[in-house]
Structure 1
């Protein structure tokens, strides 16, 4: 299990590609929720992401309880709660931002389970980003939006637990893990959809599905789930958690911009300021090595100056 903290150029580009896919995925979710209720949309996602691929890709070589935990936390809980949060009033752009609280949850859990102690720079960077999350929280109003915020925060915690299961499993094939994780989540969502949304709503939604919703589901399944989580699992497996998870702080920036361009979501000044804080925290994390070098150079230079001054005083 690697604990490397410095991504290669190739892996940096893969991380940024994942960020772009996940940032634009919120638009697909918003479009899908126009015709499908949240649990049904989740069930469609999980079912199509799992079948027929479970018959092609072997089950990850890990204890069944770890695979079950991965599927429940990383997919069933995370997306069931997030989709419902958007359905209940939290906009796609804000949802993409609030979900990034998982960065702090992930670092804390990685320390608890793997003793991956984040450096002072990563802690400072996370605190800078947390200011941006705080700005979002201070602008939340209305009961539906508050419910959406709470559900999305719990979804973020679920994602953080999912990251821990990803690292514990350490699958040779990240895509295989994603497929089997979706298989675990699929029956949970079908049961919840039948209980809370009802067979009448399910049948009506399926019979009246439009091409835009089909395209949205296609994007959610094959790009966001298969490609996005396949790449994410590979990066989490290859590097330390604290080196990878801060990249997701760029997801809301992509989410805000694309939501404004495609959905005409208002891009207010406080959203821009919140995004700048979040990006600033990520930049602080990414340039940790360079900052360390600069500080070490300054420290050595200061020590030499003090030593030279001390010798000069002693001579006189």
Structure 2
């Protein structure tokens, strides 16, 4: 990435997504997963539409509509649904580990589907980065329902496939416009899932719940996904995937500050190993 601008954008995206993990836990105290799902997408769609109205250009051909629909339901519908429902039975720390196996999955998918080649150095860096995450969170591993674990694995896979699908078919679209379109195309399916799994509850009108969803929909989704699509439009999957290990690292720091959680020596060791992995993945081929 370029020296100043793009790393700063990436850090903003990582910060917004890192804070999402804390916000989800707060949201659970007000309402169920189906409400979080529909309200996050609804707020994100409204915010993105208002912010990027001039960039929205609808596809002219049926095949292009289908491509956007596929992207929407990989990146938004399936990913969010599986994540929110899976996290109800799994700790936030383990959720972070599983979701951020996404870079490993996306690298593997890009190798086979995009012919995106990289050497042993980058592969070793990815492995070290993931190992650092495991060390950070391993004491918190507590899975009471393996169905939840499977849902989180599928969430990571859905996001990885969405990334590769975007790189293969949709990088010609303006990032801001496509970001809005994917939220719009996901909304009908999200609404059906929410109605089937929990319905529209009275707590949707709770002011505190709506403030949480406003953050997650605006900065945590609309703005963060715009940065995500912008970076992946320019760079190969293997070029920036390793940096996504920064997101759960930010979650740990924010948990320390906001939730007053302690940080152990084990976590510090994990951060060190993860940092080495990020450096290797960014510098080596």
Which TM-score applies when normalising by structure 1? 0.79
Check if 1:210 corresponds to 2:211: no
Within 5 A, what are the aligned runs for 1:205-284?
205-207=203-205, 209-211=206-208, 213-284=209-280
- Offset at residue 60 of structure 1 (A): 5.4
Instruction: Quote the residue 2:20 is aligned against.
Output: 25
Q: Conserved in 1, the CA contact under 8 Å of 2:106 and 2:237?
A: yes
Instruction: Give the equivalent residue in structure 2 for 1:156.
Output: 156
Q: Partners in 1 of 2:110 and 2:279 — Cα distance?
A: 21
Aligned residues: 277
Mean Cα displacement is larger for which, 223-232 or 52-61?
A: 52-61
* Aligned residues: CA RMSD: 2.4
- Note the alpha carbon deviations across 1:39-77, whole angstroms, 9 max, x for none: 221111112222482993222577122111111110111
**Deviation (angstroms), 1:269:** 4.1
Distance 1:267 1:66 in 2: 44
Name the CA shift for 1:276/1:77 in 2 (closer, same or farther; >3 Å). farther
Which deviates more, 214-223 or 58-67? 58-67
Query: Which TM-score applies when normalising by structure 2?
Result: 0.87
Aligned to 2:119: 119
Q: 1:60 to 1:118 in 2, by over 3 A?
A: farther
Structure 1: gaps spanning 5 or more residues: 1-5, 290-316
Gaps of at least 5 residues in structure 2 are none
Separation in structure 2 between the aligned mates of residue 81 and residue 14 of structure 1, nearest angstrom: 27
SS at structure 2 position matched to 1:143 = coil
Corresponding position of 1:13: 8
Offset at residue 257 of structure 1 (A): 1.1
1:50 to 32, 39, 45: 45
Distance 2:260 2:148 in 1: 20
The alignment status of 1:195 with 2:170, answered yes or no, reads no
Change (3 A) 1:126 1:29: same
